[in-house]
Amino acid sequence: MDIEALDRFSRDVLPEFASDLGGLVQIPSISGDPVHSEDVRKCAEALLGFLNRTGADHRLIETEGHPAVFGSLTVDEKKPTILVYNHYDVQPPGEGKWELEPFSGKLKDGAVHGRGATDDKGPLLATIETVDYLNGIEELNVNLRFIFEGEEESGSPNFSNALKQSGIGANDIDGILLCDTVWMNGRPTITYSLRGLVYAEMTYRSAKAPVHSGLVGGAVKNPLTVLSNAIAACDKAYRNNPSGDFLDEDVAEPTEEELQALDNLNFDAERFLRDTGITRPTTLNSLTMLKRLWMQPTIEAHGFIGGYTGPASSTVIPDSATAKISMRLVPNQDPNKAAKTLSDNIKKVDEDIEIKFTKSIPPFKTRTDHPYMKAAHSAAEQGFGIIPAYVGCGGSIGAVPAFLEYFGQRPIVMLAMSTERDSYHGPNEKFELQQAAGGIRTVGRFLDNVGKMGRTVA
């Protein structure tokens, strides 16, 4: 492969890339809101056009929810086959203050702005641009399968079925490339572990209708108070024993190798706080913060539904309230076991609290010494000009368990293009053009490196 030509292309294509990404960002493909179902489909259909540009066969895979986008590009059956995964659905804009409209897709200060720009439409498009270029000059050194999910932000409820419908055989894939993670401490990253997720809604009802506190206050249980007490009780139990029986006694202790890797990262807690906008951290110790981000479970409250939130001084007690909560789990933890533990602790506060579990994703961990991981490390160092780091990730990716079930222990390479500055899931999300260029250079090198290794599956 002509590396210099690839690097020139990564710079020359940026105006076109910015325009294309802006168009995708303008489509509010919010998978979790039925109002935007047509927008999700519109975005999927737009991606078919981009795949068509690469020369790949392409189609939509219909599911019980939103469609997945599938593509297939074979250059030589004797070459390795890599499955490229991204998602095209996005989070809602949220209630934070946006400097530009959430779905503007505008180019400003060297970045495309808007919800979904960095998570995950920017990395998705950078990968497609790379493949389009390499196949166009006949230097694509691997076969590719693409699957772009439309429900990642909704917990990937239909992804396993979409994967089965794709027609990919269990032994057809040599490895998986996934670009949906984030840099750390100003360095490119290759992620080796993900925390799992258990998401729940708990509801409490205490009356047939809202009631006046001056009439019945003291005689009725306040749903907001009951749920607040339940959250506080679970949080207190966790804080007192963050890796013990409350969530799961099976939390794995970090290995000496993992602890050394944390130390080698030279993680700067204060920089992390600046980049993420955190003003009230749980710790300022860099090593402790990394352990809490990657190696320890958490329990979090995300929102309340119920009661009066208007400008007046209402004294009405709501008849019901709902709270949304989640747990992040680490390797060795069982989501079903953790969910039961959470439910048992909530019921101790009030047995009439109703609990509905809506998402469950197991944690994930892989080897860092696999040849594909080393190929990604080398590619990222050359593509971005910075020595990358092997890192854990505090988040979850719903497609990963499906890959493990379907393909077994095929390597899953999680290669980051996005940075901590990009406001993942927050207001003012953006994707910097310099990251797109570096991503194109990195993905091109990675695919070329892997192609030279030959097939790993018989």
- Average pLDDT rounded to a whole number, residues 95-102: 92
84-98 pLDDT, tens digit per residue, is 999 999 999 988 899
Beta-bridge partners for 144: 73, 82
146-205 pLDDT, tens digit per residue, is 999 999 999 899 999 999 999 999 899 999 999 999 998 889 999 999 999 999 999 999
Instruction: Check if 3-194+363-451 and 196-256+293-360 are the same fold.
Output: no
* pLDDT, the chain, mean: 93
Q: Residue 290: CB partners within 8 Å, gap ≥ 6?
A: 262, 265, 267, 392
- Average pLDDT rounded to a whole number, residues 205-234: 96
Architecture of domain 3-194+363-451: 3-Layer(aba) Sandwich (3.40)
Does residue 458 register a pLDDT over 80? no
Helical axes 14-25 vs 3-12, angle rounded to 10°: 50
**152 neighbors 124 (Cβ within 8 angstroms):** no
More confident residue, 434 or 272: 434
pLDDT value of position 240: 65
pLDDT value of position 456: 82
- Residue 42's pLDDT band, with cuts at 50, 70 and 90, is very high
Domain ranges, ordered by start, for the chain: 3-194+363-451, 196-256+293-360
Q: What is the DSSP string of 79-119?
A: S-EEEEEEE--B----SSPPSS-TT---EETTEEESTTIII
- Average pLDDT rounded to a whole number, residues 287-305: 92
47-60 pLDDT, tens digit per residue, is 999 999 999 999 99
Give Cα 321 distance to the centre of its chain.
29
Burial 176-189 (b: 16+ CB within 10 A, else e): bbbbbbbbbbebbb
CA distance 23 to 106: 9
- CATH code of the domain made up of 196-256+293-360: 3.30.70.360
pLDDT value of position 253: 81
Q: Residue 442: CB partners within 8 Å, gap ≥ 6?
A: 188, 379, 380, 382, 383, 384, 415, 417
- Neighbour tally for 336: CB within 10 Å: 11
Residues above pLDDT 90, as percent of the chain? 80
- Average pLDDT rounded to a whole number, residues 403-409: 93
- Average pLDDT rounded to a whole number, residues 118-132: 98
Q: Residue 63: CB partners within 8 Å, gap ≥ 6?
A: 151, 158, 161, 162, 165
**443 neighbors 86 (Cβ within 8 angstroms):** no
Does residue 290 register a pLDDT over 70? yes
pLDDT value of position 409: 86
Backbone φ, ψ for residue 113 (5° rounding): -105, 145
